[in-house]
Structure 1
Amino acid sequence: MLDATDADGLTVGQVSTRLGVTVRALHHWDEIGLARPSLRTAAGYRLYTAGDLERLHRIVVYREIGLGLDRIRAILDDSTADVPGALRAQRTQVAERIDRLQQLSAGLDRMIDAHDRGLLLTIEQQAAIFGPQWNPDWPAQARQRYGDTTQWRQYAERSASRGPEEWQAIADAVAGLDRALGDAMDAGVTPGSPEANQLVERHREVFASYFPLTRQMQVCLGRMYEADPGFAAHYDGIRAGLATWFRRIIDASARAHSIDPDTATWQ
């Protein structure tokens, strides 16, 4: 491949083609004194000899393994340079970079999986964390229904970084809120009272584990808790009438923040 001689050098374009290096890079290396052509034509055009090409080939190899230009210059120009030591050090850096890239790849796989599945837990883990009433088909149904929304993307990004312990903590927080709602209803807490408003804020904080919840979005959830048979059965299973009471305390809190529950939308 390197068939140029001192008598008939190769032009910049020819070297660029042979070594797969841009003309701009060759000009730059010439300007900084890293790899200067030994010959010039009568018209002043650069010509590279076989020796020049050998140096350029080493530069290309060293650059491909990640060495910087200053380090390459030192290796090429210093006869006492510890070339094997420099290469071993570079190999260590490459290995570290590969490890980081592998971790990044694994993280990307989890993120993709979370966007597709929503919940990165086995069926056994889901049952252990969320209880026997949990339906493992629910995440897939939610993905089908909400997969194109901003909230699903936010939920998936949170889910990608969570393991069983984090989900257990969230499940415990949800169960604690459910108990507090039932106890407050039993105690006669009225919508709009400080105690009721505190529970509404607690609901927003717990729900933020899935995605940020605005007050208007919370009103929409309150309606769904009361109207959807599955959610209504869940809350009314805690206390009879709890789904409606929960919706009422959410609506009262919204009004206190100048939001009309009758016109609130998912935003």
Structure 2
Amino acid sequence: MNYSVGQVAGFAGVTVRTLHHYDEIGLLVPGERSTAGHRRYGDADLERLQRILFYRELGFPLDEVAALLDDEATGRADPRAHLRRQHDLLTARIEKLQKMAAAVEHAMEARRMGINLTPEERFEVFGDKDPDRYAEEAEQRWGGTEAYAESQRRAARYTKADWQRMKDQVDDWSARYAALVTGAEPPTGERAMDLAEEHRRHISAWFYDCPYALHRGLAAMYVSDERFKAFYDSMAPGLAEHLKEAIEANAARHTV
């Protein structure tokens, strides 16, 4: 049997124009012509087209595809060697695609976590403090909670300017609380409790609703988790424990 150029285009999922081009450059010359001069393709032509499309899928330019097929046709590559080569090429292609998929997944995860910044913007805003350093652990701990979901929804909308404004607020609060601790003001004092309330409202404003019971739970984590403790204590020695007590005192005065 032989087939028209339109039929072959339909079989192979290519355009008629592509088949015409392959004929013009000698890559796939149909084995027959009709009495009217129309291209007619036989089984051998279809097999060659299959190989062409295989190499094209792997990214080979047409001139290299022609050389590969010529080697096969002249016997310089036996069928087993040809299959081994195809296997090696496919394996390499799969590895490349897996790496590409991993890169795309990483980008999707970063966007889903709401960190929609370029590397330069991330460094400009956060410096060496990676904002999603603990993102995976956070999802494991709280991924099923409404607070976590709300945090992701809000963060996904934030721009570079939003992140910068948020960081500026944190830096300002940190400086004022560190001065309070350095000045030996008690965590149950009015200023400490007011700053604890500001801390709670900051969380509610930027991430998720933070009622007093939840704020107490966060306070406990600030001293029980060494990383959070180190973060707060880096502002002033003993600040993590001081803040915990201030949060508890503030919650008590608002929930009596």
What TM-score do the two structures reach when normalised by structure 1?
0.51
Q: Counterpart of 1:156? A: 152
Q: Counterpart of 1:234? A: 231
Segments of 5+ residues of structure 1 without an aligned counterpart are 1-111, 260-267
Distance 1:155 1:122 in 2: 21
Q: Counterpart of 1:117? A: 113
Q: Counterpart of 2:180? A: 184
Give the aligned residue type for 1:211.
Y
Q: Counterpart of 2:253? A: 256
Distance 2:226 2:216 in 1: 17
Distance 1:219 1:199 in 2: 14
Q: Compute the displacement of 1:170 (Å).
A: 0.5
CA contact (8 A) 1:123 1:136 kept: no
- What is the alpha-carbon root mean square deviation over aligned residues? 2.2
Q: Compute the displacement of 1:213 (Å).
A: 0.7
CA contact (8 A) 1:146 1:152 kept: yes
* Deviation digits for residues 127-184 of structure 1 (CA, Å, limit 9, x no counterpart): 2212213264323332333222101111111112211000110011111111111011
Distance 1:212 1:229 in 2: 25
Distance 1:140 1:122 in 2: 20
Distance 1:199 1:213 in 2: 15
Distance 1:116 1:143 in 2: 11
Instruction: From the superposition, tell whether residues 140 and 121 of structure 1 become closer, same or farther in structure 2 (CA, over 3 Å).
Output: farther
Query: SS of the counterpart of 1:119?
Result: coil
Give the aligned residue type for 2:223.
E
Query: SS of the counterpart of 2:234?
Result: helix
Instruction: From the superposition, tell whether residues 243 and 130 of structure 1 become closer, same or farther in structure 2 (CA, over 3 Å).
Output: same
Work out which of the residue numbers 215, 220, 224 in structure 2 matches 1:218. 215
Instruction: From the superposition, tell whether residues 115 and 153 of structure 1 become closer, same or farther in structure 2 (CA, over 3 Å).
Output: farther
Q: Counterpart of 1:204? A: 200
Segments of 5+ residues of structure 2 without an aligned counterpart are 1-107
Query: SS of the counterpart of 2:188?
Result: coil
What TM-score do the two structures reach when normalised by structure 2?
0.53
Q: Compute the displacement of 1:114 (Å).
A: 7.5
* Deviation digits for residues 207-240 of structure 1 (CA, Å, limit 9, x no counterpart): 1211111111111111111111111111111111
Give the aligned residue type for 2:115.
L
CA contact (8 A) 2:216 2:251 kept: yes
Query: SS of the counterpart of 1:238?
Result: coil
CA contact (8 A) 1:155 1:210 kept: yes
CA contact (8 A) 1:114 1:156 kept: no
Percent of residue pairs bearing the same amino acid type: 26
Q: Counterpart of 2:244? A: 247
Instruction: From the superposition, tell whether residues 159 and 141 of structure 1 become closer, same or farther in structure 2 (CA, over 3 Å).
Output: same
Distance 1:146 1:135 in 2: 17
What aligned pairs does 1:17-36 form with structure 2 within 5 A after superposition?
none
Work out which of the residue numbers 112, 118, 122 in structure 2 matches 1:126. 122
Give the aligned residue type for 1:192.
T
What aligned pairs does 1:136-175 form with structure 2 within 5 A after superposition?
136-175=132-171
CA contact (8 A) 2:114 2:158 kept: no
Instruction: From the superposition, tell whether residues 115 and 213 of structure 1 become closer, same or farther in structure 2 (CA, over 3 Å).
Output: farther
